Chain A
């Protein structure tokens, strides 16, 4: 049928099988982890879970704090995203976007230290509230947990929502602009339809992140009443060697989060059936009056304060030590330990980012190529498994699969890279899902008729449109791996630390100033990384066919 000379990777199978294989491998890995535990000890009676008051409270508390965190994160994120979409030209917008991207990838111990400096007993804000408002505020308890979760997740959610609003179908934008819709109607007609398809997935993502939260919950939770399932799993595995109970709890976690993802995948895949040809500058009139602008500025100012004050605290705390971190004891050569740790971190994080982006694209391609919706849903849910399966369970499973040759020598670092890529997959996928799905069916059909398939389809149809989301996804994938401590701690290292490991080593040996400086350096490095990738992703040039074929008019300048 097809008379065109075939392009590389143009057989239909290339769209289906690689993604399916990756999804399959993820399922196998998760099942192996669980299976290994069940193998070691028989699974306890499910009834035992409901009989134990402690376990019941743990499950209830985990769900409750995750639910609160999701609701608040989205309540913050939606207005922020809308304001940022309306106000596209204020100074500092680019910097704000970079800072928003930062919050999720911050190592939790660094972020918590910043949050405590602002909201803790001796925090700036607490002092202010006591002295000026006469209000008392206690960080430790559900307050602190939810606050920290909103700090981590609301900026991420806002960032993803902004991307969705900005890629709202042009036809709607044009009509809305012509009608001069007010805010409410603009939300109903343009913004809500744009964010609605990604909402279930976003909510599920934030829910899962908060559901599996561990160190933050313990540090800010105030006591063992604030125990999440993840803590209970750690306790069972590490402390009591009760593999059966760990497996049971892991299954409960998997069941709750997996069910949510299943629901999200059902609703979330109807994304964008409308043609999407990106045209800029159909701004709503709603954001242009003086009062509207002032209101936006005030609301955004509050959000900036919320986001930036902990970062400033991190900066202030790290500054005293940063000089001696780079140039120890007045020497003029850069501290080799810090330099090595930085390079080692990048050597893990960059390939991990690249791998997670590639894997996400293959999974998405598989999702669109599969003829059966069940397969699509399976691949989608599988991609989120790394978030739902507790790392300890996964690590145990990997050990039993690969023993005795695991993690003791240099192959350990390669494994760490692979696992990091896997852990970043859910986020990267979330970044790419919208833009990938936004390709309108007319363009698709046209491409099918012209036989633009395989590599060429990717190069000329997807790449020009995906450039910016890809850069953002790459930044997140790399950033998450750069700030990772959990995975590398799981497999052990050769005493050659990455930056987060160096940070924890310094903490463990009372080197508080040095640790604060390493934390600050990590934050700066992440910031540079996000800026670099955003620059790479900005459409400075649109090569040849791309601009002709898709009639791309300059995109809205958002990042």
Chain B
């Protein structure tokens, strides 16, 4: 009965919504921080809709991982024309589903710390993972990952779980990149300083860090930009580590089953134009994927400039993630 009611409702509504469509619609699967009222989504939508006789329709899923999951479940019948919000941690797995199409976008304008030549994924922003600290509680933060690991256990940090969170996975890869096979031992030394491992970045940042529970939290090197530009406070800063910082790149891609491929391709090209990119720095609080010149907000000059961008090839991550994760679990629960 419930199922029949479901189906009936669906059918009625589908009939109604089918009549309403006139111009072509580009359906984009994305995540909340992009599509939020104050995020880049609405401004980008307005700007793009002016260049085409079309409409952008955002479907907001919980995270990059959820976009991938939704795509897998829907398979070839997905309504999505484009996915926006995957990152270097999820993109290889998404590629392996075979559900994405290659793009024709000219990538020469890209301004990333690494060379990017991917036939499927087009980056739209990037950033470094970093520990953000409260200058009032911790005037002298550790200067390297090694110093953090060697610090006394009275220094508390908040991290996110690599099983459920993007920055969490970022730290796992960061440690692996710096320490290789020694990583599990280093995790064991770090363990005493970890106050807790939250499910998501938001849980840790809102409930714990901003409540003053620990002076350091795993976040992004760009986080202070928001606090400085919008909250008008220099209190929260990112700690620069000598070993370098792990890189995150956020990407978009066309969906193979889309019937709006041309429109989707036009959007990908638009994505690397200034009309899109200028909304990234303060609305997504990340570095723009292209050089914005003078348009880059002044606070971005005050951010840390890591000596080295640490980065694993996405395929390497996909192949080893499970094993690295199990080693992490083992080290942390022993």
Contacts and interface: CB of A to CB of B under 8 A. Distances in A.
Most B Cβ at <10 Å: residue of A54, A57, A494, A505: A505
Contact of B33 (A117, A337, A493, A505): A505
A22 B1 contact: yes
A409 interface: yes
A399 B73 contact: yes
Given A25-B1, A116-B213, A239-B65, A403 B73 contact: yes
A29 B333 CA distance: 36
B60 A494 contact: yes
A184 B5 CA distance: 52
B29 to A, nearest CB: 8
B161 A238 contact: no
A347 to B, nearest CB: 15
B207 A112 contact: yes
A332 B203 CA distance: 33
Interface stretch (B35-43, B121-129, B140-148, B292-300): B35-43
A399 B74 CA distance: 8
Contacts of A414: 9, 13
A508 interface: yes
B245 interface: no
Q: Is the interface of B mostly helix, strand, loop or mixed?
A: helix
Contact of A109 (B2, B163, B207, B330): B207
Interface string A107-146: 0010011001100111000000000000000001000000
Q: Is the interface of A mostly helix, strand, loop or mixed?
A: helix
Contact of A492 (B13, B59, B333): B59
A57 to B, nearest CB: 7
Interface string A87-115: 00000000000000000000001001100
B104 interface: no
Contacts of A117: 211
Contact of B13 (A235, A411, A493, A510): A411
Interface residues of B, number: 80
Interface in B55-73: 57-62, 65-66, 69-70, 72-73
Contacts of B75: 403
B223 interface: yes
B10 A223 contact: no
A507 B213 contact: no
B189 to A, nearest CB: 14
Interface stretch (B107-115, B173-181, B193-201, B246-254): B193-201
Contacts of A337: 37
Nearest to B210: A512
Interface stretch (A4-12, A212-220, A432-440): A212-220
A122 B213 contact: yes
Nearest to B37: A337
A337 B213 CA distance: 31
A90 B290 CA distance: 67
Contacts of B210: 512
Contact of A218 (B32, B199, B330): B199
Nearest to B208: A116
B329 interface: yes
A509 B2 contact: no
Contacts of B32: 497, 501, 504-505, 508
29 contacts: A22-B1, A109-B202, A112-B207, A113-B206, A116-B213, A140-B196, A219-B204, A219-B208, A221-B196, A222-B195, A223-B333, A224-B329, A238-B65, A239-B163, A239-B164, A402-B6, A402-B7, A404-B74, A404-B78, A408-B79, A409-B13, A415-B6, A497-B36, A504-B32, A505-B37, A508-B33, A510-B227, A511-B38, A512-B206
Interface of B: 1-3, 5-7, 9-10, 13-14, 17, 27, 29, 32-33, 35-39, 41, 57-62, 65-66, 69-70, 72-75, 77-79, 93, 156, 161, 163-164, 191, 194-208, 210-214, 223, 226-227, 230-231, 283, 285, 321-322, 325-326, 328-330, 332-333
Given A414-B13, A505-B37, A508-B202, 5 more contacts: A26-B2, A29-B2, A116-B213, A223-B197, A510-B223
The 5 closest A-B pairs by CB, nearest first: A404-B77, A25-B2, A507-B202, A508-B33, A505-B36
